[in-house]
């Protein structure tokens, strides 16, 4: 069982609740126990990092599981993900200078330090730091009216398990800076900022789904997303349905996987049909001439076109 105070969300709230979480034996890992009782540890680490300066904010963003709509988001299609109760939490405080200092509690307290007044480039050694740096760099392009910050980061979203730990981190970093400096950015803007950071700074051409559900997820609801217009609709989950996530123990990271290759194949198919994205190709257009495509490219396109129909 783990206890923690709530809520930890994008809005300050003076009404606090005490939540108890009961975990079956298979989930009673050291990571889960440390995380569920570790909110106080983040604040303590923040004080150690900042010479007794207390944390000003706690911000959290969840991971996600996609119910249906696979490989459709970067084809401007439709997806139906839901947020999960695994998340990235950031304890944060403003600084008097223009430095961003980051401590990764789950990586043996590794630290990164960089300036807002110098070009923000990829870290030479720390992969996790690039996600933070990318978010900050792209926030500057949206609203440069913020200063330095100390960020202490922890999370229990399994990495490399397809549950969007990177998007959770990107959204949480954006929320932290937004909260410290009252930036006028809504959830959609923070999601887009995270996607741009991953596309242009980290080097993974992901779609918008992961960041959007992390920023806009609602308890007991899935979120139907139109990945072209970014229109969303909360879809209540049936009361008698539970989402069970099973860990296959197959590790992958979007940057290192075949994800970018799959996207290139879909873009090749869209060019063949002369459209912006495969969302614009109907089954009636596709099936009569699919044989003219490379077999693998045709397979990728067929999945996306039919998956959009299934999602809706």
* DSSP state string for 138-155: HHHHH------EEEEEEE
Q: Where in the chain is the domain with CATH 3.30.230.10?
A: 38-249
Radius of gyration of the chain measured on its C-alpha atoms:
20
| Rounded Cα distance, 74 and 126, in Å | 27
**Please, what sign has the CA dihedral across residues 242, 247, 253, 257?**
negative
Q: Specify the fold of 38-249.
A: Ribosomal Protein S5; domain 2 (3.30.230)
Nearest to 80 by CA among 214, 242, 212, 225: 225
**DSSP alpha helices (H): ranges in the chain?**
30-36, 39-49, 127-142, 165-181, 187-196, 209-216, 259-273, 283-286, 295-311
Query: What pLDDT is recorded for position 251?
Result: 74
- How is 49-76 classified by DSSP, letter by letter? HTTTPPP-EEEEEEEEEEEE-TT-GGGT
| Rounded Cα distance, 166 and 53, in Å | 28
The CB density around residue 233, as the number of other CB atoms within 10 Å, is 11
Query: What pLDDT is recorded for position 47?
Result: 61
* Strand, helix or coil for residue 21: strand
DSSP letter (8 states) at residue 227 = T
Low-confidence ranges of the chain (pLDDT < 70): 1-54, 252-257
Helix 187-196 and helix 127-142: axis angle, to 10°? 130
Kindly list the catalytic residues.
210
| Rounded Cα distance, 217 and 72, in Å | 19
The CB density around residue 4, as the number of other CB atoms within 10 Å, is 17
- Return left, alpha or beta for 265; rule: phi > 0 is left, psi -120 to 50 is alpha, else beta: alpha
């Amino acid at each position: 069982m783990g206890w923690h105070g709530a809520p930890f969300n994008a809005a300050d709230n003076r009404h606090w609740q005490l939540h108890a979480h009961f975990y079956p034996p298979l989930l009673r890992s050291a990571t889960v126990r440390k995380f569920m009782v570790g909110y106080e540890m983040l604040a303590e680490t923040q004080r150690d990092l900042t010479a007794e300066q207390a944390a000003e904010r706690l911000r959290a963003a969840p991971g996600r599981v996609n119910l249906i709509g696979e490989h459709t988001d970067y084809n401007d299609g439709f997806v139906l993900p839901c947020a999960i109760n695994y998340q990235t939490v950031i304890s944060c405080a403003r600084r008097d200078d223009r430095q961003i200092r980051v401590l990764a509690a789950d990586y043996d307290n590794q630290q990164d330090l960089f300036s807002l007044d110098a070009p923000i480039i990829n870290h030479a050694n720390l992969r996790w730091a690039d996600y933070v740096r990318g978010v900050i760099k792209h926030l500057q392009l949206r609203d440069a009216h913020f200063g330095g910050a100390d960020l202490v980061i922890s999370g229990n979203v399994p990495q490399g398990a397809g549950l969007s730990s990177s998007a959770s981190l990107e959204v949480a970093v954006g929320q932290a800076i937004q909260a410290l400096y009252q930036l006028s950015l809504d959830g959609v803007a923070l999601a887009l900022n995270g996607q741009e950071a991953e596309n242009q700074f980290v080097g993974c051409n992901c779609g918008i789904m992961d960041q959007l559900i992390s920023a806009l997820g609602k308890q007991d609801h899935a979120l139907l997303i139109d990945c072209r217009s970014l229109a969303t609709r909360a879809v209540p989950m049936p009361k008698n349905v539970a989402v069970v996530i099973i860990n296959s123990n197959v590790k992958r990271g979007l940057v290192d996987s075949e994800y970018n290759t799959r996207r290139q194949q879909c873009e090749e198919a869209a060019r063949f049909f002369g459209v912006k994205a495969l969302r614009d190709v109907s089954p009636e257009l596709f099936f009569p001439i699919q044989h003219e495509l490379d077999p693998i490219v045709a397979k990728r396109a067929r999945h996306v076109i039919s998956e959009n129909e299934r999602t809706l």
